[in-house]
Amino acid sequence: MTESVSIRWDVSDLVRDSLLSKSDMKLIVCCFAEPFSPISRGLAKCFEEIRMGDSVSYAQIFILDPTENIQFALECNVKACPAIVFFWEGKQVSIQRNGWDEDTKFVGVTSKENYINLIRLLREIAEDANQDNLILKAQGM
């Protein structure tokens, strides 16, 4: 990650509008990060780089300060940061990780490549699935 990346902080109203729209971009990724935390800020920069790139151009990526967007963060069950929340066709995705309870968010930090792979995996699973409650099984993360 380069230090020169400028983070564009979004507001929850933009996310809500996207969740309600009937856009072809069915996958929405929300990165909740605290601007004062070096770890959160590093992840926000990582997601800004992903958002600016073309590796997952089919996904809408939003970067949110949970304090400034407290109501939406609570609705997404975000209690600690950094946290990543995924939506497919307007519905929050459930996530299963080895040794963890099923949840609706991915908490913690991993590599940019792992996040890109996770977004790609979710899209593949979602496009193949025909179910109301989508579950992403993130193995080894």
Q: What is the pLDDT of residues 17-59, one digit of tens each?
A: 999 987 777 899 999 999 999 999 999 999 999 999 989 988 9
> Does residue 79 contact residue 67 with C-beta atoms inside 8 Å?
no
pLDDT, tens only, 107-133: 888 899 999 998 998 888 877 765 555
The answer, yes or no, to whether residue 105 has pLDDT greater than 90, is: no
3-state secondary structure of 81: coil
d(CA 43, CA 91): 23
Proportion of the chain above pLDDT 70, given as a percent? 83
User: For domain 12-138, is the CATH number 3.40.30.10?
Assistant: yes
Question: In this predicted structure, what is the pLDDT of residue 14?
Answer: 95
Question: In this predicted structure, what is the pLDDT of residue 103?
Answer: 66
Question: In this predicted structure, what is the pLDDT of residue 123?
Answer: 85
Question: In this predicted structure, what is the pLDDT of residue 139?
Answer: 46
> Does residue 28 contact residue 60 with C-beta atoms inside 8 Å?
yes
Question: In this predicted structure, what is the pLDDT of residue 100?
Answer: 60
pTM of full prediction above 0.75: yes
- 40: phi then psi, degrees, rounded to nearest 5: -60, -45
Proportion of the chain above pLDDT 90, given as a percent? 53
Tokens of 70: 């407290």
